[in-house]
Amino acid sequence: MANGSLLLPRWVVPVEPAGKVLEDHAVAIRDGRIEAIAPAREARARFREHEPVELAGQVLIPGLVNAHTHAAMTLMRGLADDLPLMRWLQEHVWPAETRHVSRDFVRDGTLLACAEMLRGGITCFNDMYFFPDAALEASLSAGMRSAHGLIAVEFPSAYASDPADYLRKGLAIRDRYRDHQLVSFCLAPHAPYSVSDATFRQVATLAAELDLPVHVHVHETADEIERSMSEHGVRPLERLRRLGLLGPGLIAVHAVHVRAEEIQLLSRHGCSVVHCPSSNLKLASGFAPVAALLKAQINVALGTDGAASNNRLDLFQEMRSAALLAKAVARDAEALPAHAALRAATLAGAQALGIAATTGSIERGKAADLVAVSMSAPELAPCYDPVSHLVYAAGREHVTHVFVNGELRVRDGVLRGSAFSGLDTRWQLWQNALEQHKQRADS
Domain assignment present for 428: no
pLDDT in tens, 5-54: 999 999 999 999 999 999 999 999 999 999 999 999 999 999 999 999 99
- Does one domain contain both 322 and 310? yes
- Does one domain contain both 220 and 242? yes
* pLDDT score, position 93: 85
Do residues 60 and 76 lie in contact, with contact meaning Cβ atoms separated by under 8 Å? Answer: no
- Looking only at the bridges linking them, the beta strands covering 5-12 and 22-23 are antiparallel
- Does one domain contain both 45 and 112? no
Domain assignment present for 363: no
Is pLDDT above 50 for 376? yes
Domain assignment present for 359: no
* pLDDT score, position 1: 41
Domain assignment present for 283: yes
Low-confidence winner among 188-197, 256-265, 320-329, 418-427 (lowest mean pLDDT): 418-427
- Does one domain contain both 328 and 374? no
pLDDT above 70 coverage of the chain, percent: 98
- Does one domain contain both 72 and 57? no
* pLDDT score, position 417: 86
CB contact set of 272 (below 8 Å; sequence gap of 6+): 250, 251, 252, 298, 299, 300, 301, 348, 351, 352
Is pLDDT above 70 for 438? no
* pLDDT score, position 95: 87
pLDDT above 90 coverage of the chain, percent: 90
* pLDDT score, position 188: 98
Is pLDDT above 70 for 149? yes
Question: Where residue 42 sits, what CATH number does that domain have?
Answer: 2.30.40.10
- Does one domain contain both 98 and 141? yes
Domain assignment present for 441: no
Domain assignment present for 185: yes
Q: How confident is the model at residue 440 (pLDDT cuts 50, 70, 90)?
A: low
State the chain's mean pLDDT as an integer.
Answer: 96
- Does one domain contain both 49 and 94? no
* Domain carrying residue 390: 5-62+368-412
Is pLDDT above 80 for 363? yes
Task: List, as own/partner pairs, every contact residues 81-89 make where C-beta atoms lie below 8 angstroms and the sequence separation is at least 24, other chains included.
Answer: 81/282, 81/311, 83/283, 84/221, 84/283, 84/284, 85/220, 85/221, 85/223, 85/283, 85/285, 85/309, 86/221, 86/223, 88/283, 88/309
Q: How confident is the model at residue 339 (pLDDT cuts 50, 70, 90)?
A: very high
Domain assignment present for 32: yes
- Does one domain contain both 202 and 219? yes
Is pLDDT above 90 for 441? no
What share of residues in the chain are helix, strand, coil (percent, to 5)?
40, 20, 35
Question: Where residue 274 sits, what CATH number does that domain have?
Answer: 3.20.20.140
The terminus-to-terminus CA distance of the chain in angstroms comes to 56
Helix (H) or strand (E) run with residue 173 in it: helix 163-177
- Does one domain contain both 111 and 217? yes
- For the chain, how many structural domains are there in total? 2
Is pLDDT above 80 for 439? no
User: What is the rounded average pLDDT of the residues 158-163?
Assistant: 97
- Does one domain contain both 244 and 293? yes
The SS3 assignment for 385 reads coil
CB contact set of 100 (below 8 Å; sequence gap of 6+): 430, 433, 434, 437
User: What is the rounded average pLDDT of the residues 244-266?
Assistant: 98
Is pLDDT above 90 for 142? yes
Domain boundary among 322, 353, 384: 353
User: What is the rounded average pLDDT of the residues 55-80?
Assistant: 96
- Does one domain contain both 225 and 146? yes
Domain assignment present for 432: no
User: What is the rounded average pLDDT of the residues 307-322?
Assistant: 96
| Rounded CA separation 282/113 (Å) | 19
- Does one domain contain both 244 and 286? yes
* pLDDT score, position 416: 94
